[in-house]
């Protein structure tokens, strides 16, 4: 069965640089979510899109933005990167309910 695809899997950036993370949800899933997970932490909700429209927003810094495109893939854009942005970034998708989400393998971002 198709799963959520994320790219890249690993990314190393320097402070003040920009990063773009991509997510391809499971086909026919109508909602995409982005989460940030620091070491030993629980996943923190960043933002979600339902049918290509932003549907909810969590603790996402103003330096970050996201969008969902006509083919349903989503991108998380991160600018002016800081050391504290180093984390695992997960994309998840669901169909009709936020309670049952399917997560991608994550992108490990390291900011040096």
Q: Give the binding site for other proteins (CB under 8 A).
A: 31, 33, 42-45, 48, 50, 55-56, 58, 90, 92, 97-106
| Cβ neighbours, 10 Å, residue 73 | 16
Least distance (Å) between residue 16 CB and other proteins: 28
Return the number of the residue (79 or 105) whose C-beta is nearest other proteins. Answer: 105
Return the number of the residue (4 or 111) whose C-beta is nearest other proteins. Answer: 4
Least distance (Å) between residue 45 CB and other proteins: 5
Least distance (Å) between residue 48 CB and other proteins: 4
Return the number of the residue (61 or 98) whose C-beta is nearest other proteins. Answer: 98
């Amino acid at each position: 069965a198709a799963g959520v695809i994320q790219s890249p899997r690993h990314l190393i950036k320097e402070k003040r640089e920009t990063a773009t993370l991509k997510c391809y949800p499971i086909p026919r899933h109508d909602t995409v979510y982005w989460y940030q997970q620091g070491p030993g932490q629980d996943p923190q909700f960043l933002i979600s899109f339902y049918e290509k429209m932003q549907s909810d927003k969590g603790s996402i810094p103003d330096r970050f933005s996201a969008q969902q495109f006509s083919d349903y893939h989503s991108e998380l854009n991160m600018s002016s990167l800081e050391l504290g942005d180093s984390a695992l970034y997960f994309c998840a998708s669901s169909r009709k309910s936020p309670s049952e989400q399917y997560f991608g393998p994550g992108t490990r971002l390291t900011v040096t």
